[in-house]
């Protein structure tokens, strides 16, 4: 294996040398100089890619050597490990027997099998974990890592207690807690969970070079740096193909895992989707139908706050990951590329972290009123194919623009004779904001997209009715200047 990697590095170097020779030692002159300059720029880019490939090959070689060494160590130590707790064995066996694959999941090809994980120990003092088979369970069900992003909150135990209590299988949902800040008390809390999770620590605690005008936003720079490191550990070092990101200040619903298992086939089969989120930005108790916890939607707005992504998406985003404000960066058209997320009618997460880098921004006014789902919905037994883009868009547009047009005053008073959903039109940024404030919706835009919006439409529940706050039927796309 070492010889193969060394050969790759040698071939890359030879290729670079040969190309450089023909460009710089055999240059034409005179009229062809412009062509040479253009070709030289192309070679410079090629040279950069070759150097990057050399670095990747070196890291791969180191990872393979470490993998081999750790595998031997694990084989020696496994014989000395204590027997698995019988209760845990029974719990997992029961899960295996009762597991029912969703309708869409049965159609998935084993496309993830080609990605072999690389085993690596994040820190020297971490226990050895066997991650040689992290893609699927023996019955074909997906393995989905739970990445808990932590810093200096000892209340992370509230989040971890719920994640561990509710998860149907330790094998299917391995929990990785990535801690930044080097906070001893928080580290001690996480350490108490032992082998129920993997605790990794961000090694880079150095100061970040921040523009003078943004010094007070230092926390956002550290968060972006931590996210990049943590996601690289999960997808590149540990080799998982799918992960759910959970912040350390989130409560989770009883069907949190069921929700992500049920929507997983959508994410991997529909290329127009790039995430599944547990969060509804307009999920206040008076804006959702509490009798419809099964309802799911597509949204052009990236919700975050408990969301699932794939390794392929991370490998796309990682090379250009920003130094700060990563969530708003993700919402930019250059990253989103007209892709959507799945979001629920009733949120499957709720934040209890009033204090943080945002200093309680939106919490008192909005976040603390978000309703957390309390009913278990068997998503894996439901046909969710209506959420696939080809099915969803036609039905959605028909539902929105065939609904009765009403004013805010009519909606509030309840004096509407027509049954079914209704629509409140908006035509300008200001009219949207004015109506949103009256209804209690979040009225801001990110890269021109309103929160929970799809094709410019914000759908919610009000006074016992489904309501669409919608642009004109000939809507042509988001206006980034509305942000």
Joined tokens for residue 313: 């998406």
DSSP track, 107-121: G---GGGG-------
DSSP count for the chain of H helices, then E strands: 13, 16
Phi-psi region of 181 (alpha: psi -120 to 50; beta: other; left: phi over 0): left
Residue with tokens 């801690």: 179
**What is the distance between the alpha carbons of residues 196 and 199, in angstroms, rounded to a whole number?**
10
Which regions in the chain score pLDDT beneath 50?
2, 23-31, 33, 36, 55-56, 59-60, 63-64, 66-67, 70-71, 73-103, 105-133, 359
Q: Show which residues are catalytic.
A: 327
Determine the topology of domain 400-482 in CATH.
2,3-Dihydroxybiphenyl 1,2-Dioxygenase; domain 1 (3.10.180)
Report the DSSP beta bridge partners of residue 423: 405, 468
Q: Show Cβ contacts of residue 435 under 8 Å, excluding neighbours closer than 6 positions.
A: 408, 424, 426, 441, 469
**What is the distance between the alpha carbons of residues 266 and 107, in angstroms, rounded to a whole number?**
11
Distance separating the N- and C-terminal Cα atoms of the chain: 52
**Nearest alpha-carbon partner for 322 in 212, 208, 183, 215:** 208
CATH for 132-372, among 3.40.50.300, 3.40.50.11540, 3.50.50.60, 3.90.550.10? 3.90.550.10
Angle between helices 156-166 and 256-269 in degrees, nearest 10: 80
pLDDT of the residue at 365: 80
**What is the distance between the alpha carbons of residues 421 and 435, in angstroms, rounded to a whole number?**
17
**What is the distance between the alpha carbons of residues 254 and 305, in angstroms, rounded to a whole number?**
16
Residue with tokens 């050597």: 65
- Domain ranges within the chain, ordered by starting residue: 132-372, 400-482
pLDDT of the residue at 142: 97
**Nearest alpha-carbon partner for 442 in 280, 281, 279, 278:** 281
Q: Show Cβ contacts of residue 250 under 8 Å, excluding neighbours closer than 6 positions.
A: 159, 305, 306, 349, 350, 351, 352, 353
DSSP track, 408-451: HHHHHHT---S-S-EEEE--SHHHHHHHHHHHT----EETTEET
Long-range Cβ contact pairs of 470-477 (< 8 A, separation 24 or more) = 470/400, 470/401, 470/423, 470/424, 470/425, 470/426, 471/425, 471/426, 471/427, 472/425, 472/427, 473/401
pLDDT of the residue at 363: 77
Pairing of strands 273-277, 340-344: parallel
C-beta atoms surrounding 417 within 10 Å: 6
Phi, psi of 343, deg, nearest 5: -140, 155
HSE of 332, CA atoms in CB hemisphere, 13 A? 12
User: ∠145-146-152 over CA atoms, to 5°?
Assistant: 140
Pairing of strands 449-450, 465-470: unpaired
User: ∠205-206-212 over CA atoms, to 5°?
Assistant: 125
């Amino acid at each position: 294996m070492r010889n193969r990697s060394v050969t790759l590095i040698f071939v890359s170097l030879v290729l670079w040398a040969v190309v450089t020779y023909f460009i710089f030692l055999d240059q034409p002159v005179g009229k062809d100089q412009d062509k040479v300059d253009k070709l030289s720029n192309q070679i410079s880019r090629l040279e950069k890619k070759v150097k990057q490939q050399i670095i990747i090959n070196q890291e791969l070689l180191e990872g393979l050597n470490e993998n081999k060494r750790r595998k031997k160590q694990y084989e020696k130590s496994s014989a000395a490990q204590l027997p698995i707790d019988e209760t845990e064995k029974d719990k997992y066996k029961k899960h295996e027997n009762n597991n029912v694959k969703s309708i869409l999941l049965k159609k998935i090809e084993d496309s993830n099998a080609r990605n072999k994980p690389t085993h690596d120990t994040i820190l020297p003092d971490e226990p050895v974990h066997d991650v040689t088979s992290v893609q699927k369970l023996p019955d074909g069900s997906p393995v989905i890592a739970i990445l808990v992003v932590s810093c200096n909150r000892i209340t992370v135990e509230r989040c971890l207690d719920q994640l561990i209590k509710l998860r149907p299988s330790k094998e299917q949902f391995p929990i990785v807690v990535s801690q930044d800040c080097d906070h001893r008390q928080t580290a001690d809390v996480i350490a108490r969970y032992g082998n129920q999770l993997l605790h990794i620590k961000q090694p880079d605690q150095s100061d970040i070079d921040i523009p003078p005008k943004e010094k007070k936003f230092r926390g956002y720079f550290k968060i972006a740096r931590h996210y990049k490191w943590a996601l690289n550990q999960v997808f590149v070092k540990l080799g998982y193909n799918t992960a759910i990101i959970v912040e350390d200040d989130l409560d989770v619903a009883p069907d949190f895992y069921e929700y992500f298992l049920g929507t997983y086939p959508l994410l991997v089969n529909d290329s127009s989707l790039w995430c599944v989120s547990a969060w509804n930005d307009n999920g206040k108790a008076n804006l959702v139908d509490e009798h419809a916890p099964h309802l799911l939607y597509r949204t052009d707005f990236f919700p975050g706050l408990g969301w699932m992504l794939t390794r392929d998406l991370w490998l796309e985003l990682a090379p250009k990951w920003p130094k700060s404000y990563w969530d708003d960066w993700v919402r930019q058209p250059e990253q989103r590329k007209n892709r959507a997320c799945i979001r629920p009618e009733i949120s499957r997460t709720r934040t209890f972290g009033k204090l943080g880098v945002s200093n309680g921004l939106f919490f008192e006014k909005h976040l603390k009123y978000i309703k957390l789902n309390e009913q278990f919905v068997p998503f894996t037994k439901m046909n969710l194919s209506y959420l696939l883009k080809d099915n969803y868009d036609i039905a959605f547009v028909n539902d929105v623009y065939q609904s009765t047009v009403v004013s805010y005053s009519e909606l509030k008073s309840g004096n509407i004779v027509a049954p079914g959903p209704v629509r409140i039109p908006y035509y300008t940024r200001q009219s949207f904001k004015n109506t949103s404030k009256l209804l209690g919706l979040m009225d801001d835009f990110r890269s021109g997209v309103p929160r929970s919006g799809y094709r410019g439409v914000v759908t919610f529940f009000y006074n016992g009715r489904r309501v669409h706050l919608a642009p004109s039927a000939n809507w042509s796309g988001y206006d980034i200047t509305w942000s």
